[in-house]
């Protein structure tokens, strides 16, 4: 079969012949029609993701999920540890979701990862409740844009979005953001804006995709003065602006703030099971109903090498069609 294969750690995937997958008892064969390329896939292919640190690299098919047909003709989204950017894939039977009528393969392949990076954090780590005020730090990226829409679906009363791309930032208003804040402004102005919003409509949840300097500014803006403070839950999902921050213990001692993370390894088995049984199916239907919007950039499998390091238009997910 044809597949996108990484032969050496960190190299560009090659469009080549590769053996058909061997199907184990807990797996089922899928004829793949679309697979999205995410930061996770690039990091795993390069051996830079924490899930691959202790693995010895061997030639392998890239990709962790996809969409296609089962042998009975049913359309499904699926997850696989054996690679998905290929004509065929071995899907884990416990990680298969029917694709509803009206949802095409590209969107079905692209949406779930963004859902994992937003709904899981909002639902399980942040405990979002109807009426909450939510700040999404770094909302102009693919997952951040989905987070804005899911926060709205989950009943957030007010959604504040931050970002550097002014055009993309303003477009978030159409997706549900009530207020947008530019990360390009002076640090003091940014902090003051957060303080003002927090005073007027106390922020219940911060969903953070950037970490780094902007997270430091947000945390410092919440710093209390020794009196009772509003409870805020900050959940970090990514580190696009840096993997570490400086955090004053005074902020934690003087502020009712809880900091946690959401990602592979932080979810319980029960939560991960709900992702496949309830959350993704719910978001698939929301997409069919027009309540969730996501743009994709589609490329044929044979062109994988040419697009691997190419810059994709902001806000669009790269999808490989097979």
Mean pLDDT, 10 residues at a time, over the chain (322 residues)? 91 95 95 92 70 67 96 96 96 95 96 96 97 98 96 98 95 97 96 96 98 97 88 95 93 94 92 95 98 96 94 89 97
Same domain? For 128 and 255 the reply is yes
Q: Which residues pair with 14 in a beta bridge?
A: 5
> So what's the pLDDT on residue 228?
86
Same domain? For 140 and 105 the reply is no
Same domain? For 52 and 187 the reply is no
Q: Is residue 300 in some structural domain?
A: yes
Same domain? For 170 and 138 the reply is yes
**CA–CA separation, 125 and 234 (whole Å):** 9
- In the numeric block, which tokens belong to residue 2? 């044809």
- In the numeric block, which tokens belong to residue 200? 């007027």
Q: Is residue 271 in some structural domain?
A: no
Give how far Cα 63 sits from Cα of 39, 59, 84, 89, Å: 10, 13, 5, 10
DSSP 66: E
Same domain? For 254 and 126 the reply is yes
> So what's the pLDDT on residue 13?
94
> So what's the pLDDT on residue 55?
61
Residue closest to 120 by CA, chosen among 92, 163, 159, 151:
151
> So what's the pLDDT on residue 53?
55
Same domain? For 95 and 215 the reply is no
Q: Is residue 70 in some structural domain?
A: yes
DSSP 282: H
- In the numeric block, which tokens belong to residue 294? 């996501």
Q: Is residue 267 in some structural domain?
A: no
Residue closest to 78 by CA, chosen among 42, 28, 117:
28
- In the numeric block, which tokens belong to residue 137? 């730090």
Give how far Cα 215 sits from Cα of 46, 122, 184, 220, Å: 27, 17, 14, 9
Same domain? For 133 and 218 the reply is yes
Same domain? For 90 and 209 the reply is no
- The CATH number of the domain holding residue 67 is 3.90.180.10
Q: Is residue 21 in some structural domain?
A: yes
Give how far Cα 75 sits from Cα of 37, 212, 260, Å: 20, 41, 36
> So what's the pLDDT on residue 42?
85
Helix (H, G, I), strand (E, B) or coil at 57: coil
> So what's the pLDDT on residue 312?
86
- The CATH number of the domain holding residue 185 is 3.40.50.720
- 193 and 203 Cβ atoms separated by less than 8 Å: no
Same domain? For 179 and 310 the reply is no
Q: Which residues pair with 36 in a beta bridge?
A: 319
Q: Indicate the number of domains in the chain.
A: 2
Residue closest to 195 by CA, chosen among 227, 165, 230:
230
Same domain? For 248 and 201 the reply is yes
- 242: alpha, beta or left? (left if phi > 0; alpha if psi -120 to 50): left
Q: Is residue 277 in some structural domain?
A: no
Q: Is residue 315 in some structural domain?
A: yes
**CA–CA separation, 199 and 287 (whole Å):** 35
Same domain? For 153 and 219 the reply is yes
> So what's the pLDDT on residue 264?
83
Structural domain including 174 reads 118-261
- 178 and 205 Cβ atoms separated by less than 8 Å: no
Q: Is residue 64 in some structural domain?
A: yes
Same domain? For 150 and 195 the reply is yes
């Amino acid at each position: 079969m044809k597949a996108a294969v990484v032969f050496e750690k960190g190299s560009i995937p090659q469009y080549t012949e590769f053996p058909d997958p061997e199907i184990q008892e807990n797996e089922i064969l899928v004829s793949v029609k679309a697979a999205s390329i995410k930061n996770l896939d690039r990091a795993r292919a390069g051996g830079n993701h924490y899930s691959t640190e202790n693995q010895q690299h061997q030639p392998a098919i890239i990709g962790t999920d996809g969409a296609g047909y089962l042998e009975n003709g049913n359309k499904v989204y699926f997850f696989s540890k054996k690679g998905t950017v290929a004509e065929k894939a071995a899907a884990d039977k416990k990680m298969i979701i029917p694709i509803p009528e009206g949802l095409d393969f590209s969107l079905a392949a692209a949406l779930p990862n963004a859902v994992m990076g937003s709904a899981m954090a909002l639902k399980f780590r942040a405990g979002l409740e109807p009426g909450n005020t939510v700040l999404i730090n770094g909302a102009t990226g693919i997952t951040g844009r989905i987070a804005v829409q899911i926060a709205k679906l989950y009943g957030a009363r007010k959604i504040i979005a931050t970002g550097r791309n002014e055009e993309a930032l303003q477009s978030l208003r159409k997706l549900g953001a009530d207020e947008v804040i530019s990360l390009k402004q002076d640090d003091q102005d940014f902090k003051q804006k957060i303080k003002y919003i927090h005073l007027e409509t106390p922020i219940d949840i911060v969903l953070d995709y950037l970490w780094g300097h902007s997270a430091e500014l947000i945390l410092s803006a919440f710093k209390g003065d020794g009196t009772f403070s509003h409870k805020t839950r900050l959940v970090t999902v990514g580190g696009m602006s840096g993997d570490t921050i400086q955090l004053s213990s005074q902020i934690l001692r003087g502020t009712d703030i809880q900091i946690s993370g959401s990602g592979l390894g932080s979810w319980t088995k029960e939560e991960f099971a709900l992702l496949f049984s309830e959350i993704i199916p719910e978001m698939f239907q929301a997409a069919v109903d027009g309540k969730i919007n996501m743009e994709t950039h589609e490329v044929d499998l044979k062109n994988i090498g040419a697009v691997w390091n190419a810059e994709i238009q902001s806000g669009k997910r790269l999808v490989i069609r097979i």
